[in-house]
Amino acid sequence: MADRLNGYRILILETREEAQFSRLLTEQGADVLQCPMFTIHDAPDPAPIEAWIRRAIERPLDDLVLMTGEGLRRLITVVRRIGVGAEFVGSLATTRKFARGPKPGRALREIGLEPQMTTEKPTSEGVIEMLAKLDLNDRRLGLQLYPDKDHAALIGAIKAQGADVDTVLPYVYDARAADANIVTAIGELAQGRIDAIALTSSGQVRRLMDVAQAHNCEAQLRDGLKHTPIASVGPVVSDELKAYGLGTDIYPANDAFFMKPLISAMAAALAKNPPRTLAK
């Protein structure tokens, strides 16, 4: 149903799929306040990424683990820039492909491919559990990483299974550029101008708290969150909230940890109360 969130002002912190999440909410009538946690840039040195791509073409990988949809899209941008798009996609056609959650799977489908397996839990631990069931001995495994995360445990676990791991990090975060917007969003929460905050990754929780502490507005943030429904996309986000002494007010039904079920849950929960007067 359209306009189920009409009049409600929703704060989103999504960075990698900001436009999609905003569009889905707007289609339901929501007034969306976008506050990406990071600015994303291509890796400053393209040479290692280009070399990784050429290795994957010259000697196709046995396996490929995609940690983020953003990572694959950035790789595709590079392969098209250097003129090897068809060759790269063709090489992946014979590769066994694994996705950390649904987002890398969507990015694969954009280039006409499908993941062979997707993690039940969209975490590094979920990837380790998924791969532990397979024989990786003597297999060449490409691993697309993402910034601001220590991947040593993941890489170590894969190598312990006998795989030859070839990593690539196609993008970086610029956190400082987003700090001012995050502080402004905290002010909106504290002033009661937000009807709900929607969280889609544990990193968003950590980043929000880190910025609040760095700019001496943690008390303001916590007071705002105390009076604002917190929507969590799944257990990983809810566990992170709990680690900071925060709770989850809105949660997708039937363990469907995706954007659309989260939005449906928000519409159902918020319908019990009219939008705040200040949020209109």
Q: Does 4 map to a domain?
A: no
pLDDT the model gives residue 1: 45
Looking at residues 100-124, what average pLDDT do you find?
Answer: 92
Please tell me the predicted confidence (pLDDT) of residue 2: 52
Q: What is the pLDDT of residue 76?
A: 97
- Give 176 or 84, the one with higher predicted confidence: 84
Q: Which of these three, 156, 173, 190, is where a domain ends? A: 173
Tell whether 268 is covered by a domain. Answer: yes
Q: In this structure, are 50 and 146 located in the same domain?
A: yes
**Residues 222, 115 share a domain:** no
Pair (55, 161) in one structural domain:
yes
189 and 264 within one domain: yes
Q: How many CB atoms lie within 10 A of CB 132?
A: 12
Same domain (yes/no): 34, 51: no
Question: What is the count of structural domains for the chain?
Answer: 2
Question: Residues near 145 by Cβ (< 8 Å), separated by ≥ 6?
Answer: 67, 71, 151, 167, 168, 169
Residues 18 and 104 in one domain: no
CB neighbour class for 3 (10 Å; exposed up to 12, middle 13-18, buried from 19): exposed
β-pairing, 164-168 vs 39-42, is unpaired
The verdict on pTM exceeding 0.75 is: no
pLDDT at 277 over 60: no
Chain segment 125-168, per-residue pLDDT in tens: 999 999 999 999 999 999 999 987 889 999 999 999 999 999 99
In-domain check, residue 103: yes
Pair (113, 155) in one structural domain: yes
CATH code, 145: 3.40.50.10090
Q: Which domain holds residue 180?
A: 9-38+175-279
pLDDT of residue 205: 93
Same domain, 48 and 81: yes
Q: Count of residues for the chain?
A: 280
Contact assessment for residue 228 and residue 42, using Cβ atoms and an 8 Å cutoff: no
